[in-house]
Chain A
């Protein structure tokens, strides 16, 4: 294979390991020629994987699963290679926080929600980045924790994270659940306050994973090389000592191989940063407990059939023998 391996990422701080592996030549050292494709939308990532425009991507589990099941038109042979990151999502709202802390489970949170809602004066419009996102599952669980029903008590909207900041300041939306560094950036700009997030809803939940598609999924040798390169990059990104290097790489402009992320907010969400919802970069196979809750929540939302649920459980390493070859869906 002479064509470079095309890896899709979005402009998010948890894309860091792929950016660093590419920039620092870790992929090349493992014999892989790579090309980073910065995608404007999650739909582009999913369609890229399904229609042979991407060989791999950094993605969240729900969308990867729906894509593998053929929701983009035809089945895509996706293989989860390694986890990339855990946690990092922020739930933020505009206006004034009536309790000056994050919102705790039960009546404390419910009361805060009611006071805040009446100050907003409408059924709150809360945004997520994609319908099949971890963000939606985390938001739904958060609302459930404070006894608020996602279906009836709020209006759910979907928009890109960068647009959310603008929409919050224009009062077009009232809140959002968003990935790093956009929650920290919204707070820094003073357009929203944080009420919860990954750490309060499901500490250390798996957030981004690396999946391969098509031919790359079938090549054991390349999959292994890519896993090793990513492991090294993930260790690098997880080391607080390199926080500045990673920040500089992510803040670099797109033509220079960066993601043009806001530097200050990005630094604060990287390991060693000051943010409560900082990212944890962790490599490793998906475990049963990583995907069980995701699949259960997806079933509860009516996205999956029972048979599909069984199929998807095969994504966890603990469900197959370690030495057994990967079974395509």
Chain B
């Protein structure tokens, strides 16, 4: 607020509370911003009417985003500063990245792009980081699940064929190569066949 301008009021509307608070924290590093969040049980439109923000950063997974589209069309007298979807036609790349990432911004209609774009960029960066973490996590979970499956198949094979673990592993490996499939798929198939045998 060094230049004497009033703080820009930013409302963060994230369906993911953890990501929402991370984004708020990031933005609070800028002292020219007053950062607010939408409580979990509050409708987006109610929060907008309550706080009259200059900028709303909206998670596109929110189902209640549709209400924001109505503000101008309904021209409700209660809404003195109508907000609208922020679009920078000269910066289509930024817009497409934002929509790709799942974030968009609604602003008081006259807000200049120079005030909005840094906020949108910060949100995009944070959303991307969260998505990467989530992807890494699910990849790790997948690898773990596969490893479990392979171990189980090996144990089963060792018991059935009275072999060592190395031999069991080789058998799975060979079978995977012969059928051009992944070891985990072979292991899964082997376990399924065993289950069928046990039932019959």
**Residues of A with Cβ closer than 8 Å to B?**
40-44, 47-48, 51-53, 72-74, 129-132, 156-160, 162-163, 301, 303
Contact = CB atoms under 8 A, between A and B. Distances in A.
A130 B74 CA distance: 11
Contact of B63 (A53, A74, A156, A163): A163
Contacts of A156: 70, 74
B99 to A, nearest CB: 5
A130 to B, nearest CB: 5
Nearest to A53: B99
Contact of A130 (B45, B66, B87, B95): B66
A9 to B, nearest CB: 14
Tell me the interface secondary structure of chain A in the complex. Answer: loop
B76 to A, nearest CB: 9
B149 interface: no
Please tell me the size bucket of the interface on B.
20 to 34
24 contacts: A40-B62, A41-B60, A41-B63, A42-B66, A43-B66, A43-B85, A47-B104, A52-B96, A72-B85, A73-B85, A73-B87, A73-B89, A74-B92, A130-B66, A130-B69, A130-B70, A131-B70, A131-B74, A132-B69, A159-B66, A159-B67, A163-B43, A301-B73, A303-B73
B66 A41 contact: yes
Nearest to A172: B43
Given A40-B63, A156-B70, A157-B67, 16 more contacts: A40-B61, A43-B66, A43-B85, A44-B60, A47-B104, A53-B99, A73-B95, A129-B66, A130-B66, A131-B66, A131-B74, A156-B74, A157-B45, A159-B43, A159-B66, A160-B64
Tell me the interface secondary structure of chain B in the complex. Answer: helix
Closest 9 CB pairs of A and B: A73-B87, A131-B70, A160-B63, A158-B67, A158-B70, A40-B63, A131-B73, A51-B99, A43-B65
B100 interface: yes
B68 interface: yes
Contacts of A73: 85, 87, 89, 95
Given A53-B99, A73-B85, A159-B43, A131 B69 contact: yes
B92 to A, nearest CB: 8
A173 to B, nearest CB: 11
A73 B87 CA distance: 5
A178 B74 CA distance: 18
Contacts of B100: 53
Given A51-B95, A131-B73, A72 B87 contact: yes
A303 B70 CA distance: 12
Contacts of B61: 40
A303 B61 CA distance: 27
B104 to A, nearest CB: 7
A131 B66 CA distance: 8
Contacts of B65: 40-41, 43-44
A47 B100 CA distance: 11
